[in-house]
Amino acid sequence: MPRLRPATRTTLVAWLLLSPALVLLALFTHYPAIATVWRSFHSTPRGARPAVFVGLENYEAMVADPIFWTSLANTGIYAAATVPLSMALALAMALLVNAAIPGRGLARLAFFTPTVLPMIAVANLWLFFFTPGYGLIDRATSALFGWGPTNWIGDPQTALGAMIAIAIWKEAGFFMIFYLAALQAIPPTLYDAARVEGASRWTTFRRVTLPLLGPTSLFILVNAVINGFRLVDHIIVMTRGGPDNATQLLLTYIYEVGFRFWDTATASALTVVLLVMLGLLALIQFAALERRTHYR
């Protein structure tokens, strides 16, 4: 070792440290991503017919497929709704259970329960909540507002909203934990100072609390965006993308095309679209995250 130039040695050590992670990344992210792009330019092999190069044919078919556009739009709505709503609710919950209210521990536990209830099982319980007539939601809306039965997941108007509500339920309580931890880490002296200056609660929140939650919010944001695209288990259980593709997301459609239609070529083209979208998001988020470290 001492014989090597320091720069060379540093590089060697760094590569050594990185190699296990890089091998795995190459094997399970880079290679499959490239292979997906490659396959998207080929036909689906079937039985005795091997795959042949078809150029952009799969993409042309995809663009001509109305379900692709529906799923793309739905994915946008789904992510755009679940990410901010679950984060805002998480913050609200954290603020509420950070205060000295009776039964605080139980409330925290209540918020945390969705995290440990696997979606695949709890989706069936949600099916009961959404059942028209005797489902819990209809019973509640009937008792409170006198509404009649609503076919929440059987109506294209409300089905996607119902799926979003479940995703928010699943996410918000989990994110709440991180906000709560961040709130507890804020030194009480800062609040004392704000009080001395006669700041209102809203000003205190905006000027003291919120800025200090910045890093946590970014951490949560990355998680929320990832889940905004991949949390589809309940959709697969409850609606399978229906009715009439009203809850079809890009990922559910990829699964359907790839593992039900056995059309790997089209599934690859769809995956490439998702890859590009997520890659762009990763870049944007990285820029945001890097900026944060700079001003620190």
Partner 1 sequence: MTARSVAQPANAHRRPVDRAALAGRALEAFAAWILAVLWVSPLLYALWAAFHPTAYAVTFDLAAPLTLENFRAAWDAAPFARYFLNTFVLVTMILAAQFVLCTLAAFAFARTRFLGSDLLFALVLVQLMVMPDILMVENYRTMRELGLVDTTLAIGLPYMASAFGIFLLRQAFKQVPRELEEAATVEGCGTWRLLTRVYVPLARPTYLAYGLTSVSYHWNNFLWPLVITNTVETRPLTVGLSIFAAVDQGIDWSIISAATLMSSGPLLIAFLLFQRQFMQSFMRAGIR
Partner 2 sequence: MTNPRTLTPNRRQTLAGLAAAGAALAAPAVHAQGATEITFNYPIAVGGPITKIIDGYCEDFAKANPGFRVKPVYTGSYQDTLTKTLTAMKGGDAPSLACLLSVDMFTLITEDAIVAWDDLPGSDKGWLDSFYPAFLENSRTGGKTWGVPFQRSTVVLYWNKDLFREVGLNPDVAPASWDEQVAFAQKLTKREGEQTTRWGLQIPSSGFPYWLFQGFTTQNDVRLMNPEGNQVVFGDPRVAEALKYWVDLSVVHKVHPPGIVEWGTTPRDFFERKTAMMWTTTGNLTNVRRNASFPFGVAMLPAGKRRGSPTGGGNLYVFKQANPAQREAAARFARFLTTPERAAQWCIDTGYVAVSPAAFETPALKAYAAEFPPALVARDQLPHAVAELSTYDNQRVTKALNDGLQAALTGRKQPAAAMGDSQAEAERLLRPFKRG
Sites for partner 1 among residues 55-114 (CB under 8 A): 89, 92-93, 96-103, 105-114
Task: Choose one: 47-55, 68-76, 145-153, 272-280; the region binding partner 1 (CB under 8 A).
Answer: 272-280
Nearer to partner 2, 19 or 124 (CB): 124
Cα 108 to Cα 39, 86, 89, 116, 178: the distances in Å are: 47, 16, 13, 13, 12
Among positions 131-160, residues that touch partner 2 (CB under 8 A) are 131-134, 148-149, 151, 153-156
Nearer to partner 2, 207 or 240 (CB): 240
Shortest CB 262 distance to partner 1, Å: 10
Q: Tell which residue, 232, 267, 112, has the closest CA to residue 174.
A: 112
Among positions 245-264, residues that touch partner 2 (CB under 8 A) are 245, 255-256, 259-263
Q: Which pairs count as long-range contacts for 139-142, CB under 8 Å and 24+ apart, including other chains?
A: none
Partner interacting with residue 210 (select from partner 2, partner 1, none; CB below 5-8 Å by kind): none
Nearer to partner 1, 81 or 172 (CB): 172
Shortest CB 234 distance to partner 1, Å: 10
Query: Facing residues of 200 across strands?
Result: none
Both tokens of 145, joined, read 């507002």
Shortest CB 73 distance to partner 1, Å: 19
Nearer to partner 2, 114 or 149 (CB): 149
The residue from 209, 247, 248, 266 that contacts partner 1 (CB under 8 A) is 209
Q: Which amino acid does the sequence have at 212?
A: L
Partner interacting with residue 287 (select from partner 1, partner 2, none; CB below 5-8 Å by kind): none
Shortest CB 136 distance to partner 1, Å: 7
Among positions 168-227, residues that touch partner 2 (CB under 8 A) are none
Among positions 11-50, residues that touch partner 1 (CB under 8 A) are 11, 13-15, 17-18, 20-25, 27-33, 35-36, 39
3-class secondary structure for the chain? CCCCCHHHHHHHHHHHHHHHHHHHHHHHHHHHHHHHHHHCCECCCECCECCCECCCHHHHHHHHCHHHHHHHHHHHHHHHHHHHHHHHHHHHHHHHHHCCCCCHHHHHHHHHHHHHCCHHHHHHHHHHHHCCCCCHHHHHHHHHHCCCCCCCCCCHHHHHHHHHHHHHHHHHHHHHHHHHHHHHHCCHHHHHHHHHCCCCHHHHHHHHHHHHCHHHHHHHHHHHHHHHHHCCHHHHHHCCCCCCCCCCCHHHHHHHHHHCCCCHHHHHHHHHHHHHHHHHHHHHHHHHHHHHHHHC
Size of the site for partner 2 (CB under 8 A): 32
Shortest CB 48 distance to partner 2, Å: 5
- Contact between 73 and partner 2 (CB under 8 A)? no
Among positions 7-66, residues that touch partner 2 (CB under 8 A) are 46-48
Shortest CB 294 distance to partner 2, Å: 45
Residues binding partner 2 (CB under 8 A):
46-48, 67, 124, 127-128, 131-134, 148-149, 151, 153-156, 236, 239-240, 242-245, 255-256, 259-263
